[in-house]
Structure 1
Amino acid sequence: MSLSERIVFQPFVWRGTRLEAGTAVLCRNSQDAHRRIDKVRAGILSVAGALVVRMEVDEEAGDYGEPEYLERIGCVPEAED
């Protein structure tokens, strides 16, 4: 079993009256993800909101650990339990 850390920047955009997930971006590290959040905060990236999520992944087995939400900005859907 080979676990690796994945950090994902997940933007959200408005499509009419619906908030939808945009294209997720796999980040090199947490600093890369936080730079993307800073771009949203500064208005450089035009999205409704975004999440940064970290999780442990075993791609060979198809196992994904519980997501850890590192940062949230703007309009994002509530996490489901």
Structure 2
Amino acid sequence: MAATERIIFQPYIWEKVGKRTALEPGTPVACRNAGDALRRIEKVRDGLLSVAGAQAVRMTVDEEAGDYGEPEVLGSVGDVPGISE
């Protein structure tokens, strides 16, 4: 099987962990294309999705070979963890 492009909308939420609050990933959403992922980012920016922040990420994946490319951040809004570059 050849490598395929995956585009993911990854929301982040604040969760109480003991006495402190931590930024945790929410449920990722697979998107049809980059435009779909970026529309979701806009919904977060406009306050239509209630999350602390979100990222739209694209990467190349070859599951048979176990090869996962470097993530490319297409868009980001709000509180999100940093990705090393």
Aligned to 1:50: 54
What secondary structure does 2:64 align onto?
Answer: coil
The aligned residue for residue 64 of structure 1 is: 68
Q: Is the 8 A contact 2:38 2:74 kept in 1?
A: no
Q: TM-score, normalised to structure 2's length?
A: 0.89
Answer yes or no: is the 8 Å Cα contact 2:8–2:37 preserved in 1.
yes
Amino acid at match of 1:69: V
- Long gaps (5+) in structure 2: none
Q: Which consecutive aligned stretches of 4+ in structure 1 deviate over 3 angstroms post-superposition?
A: none
**CA RMSD, 1 decimal:** 1.2
The separation in 1 between residues aligned to 2:61 and 2:12, in whole angstroms, is 23
> What percentage of residue pairs aligned between the two structures are identical?
63
**Size of the alignment, in residue pairs?**
81
- Native 8 Å contact 2:12 2:25 kept in 1: yes
Please identify the structure whose Cα radius of gyration is greater. 2
1:36 Cα deviation after fit: 0.4
2:27 aligns to what?
23
Q: Any stretches of 5+ residues in structure 1 without a counterpart?
A: none
Report the TM-score, using the length of structure 1 for normalisation. 0.93
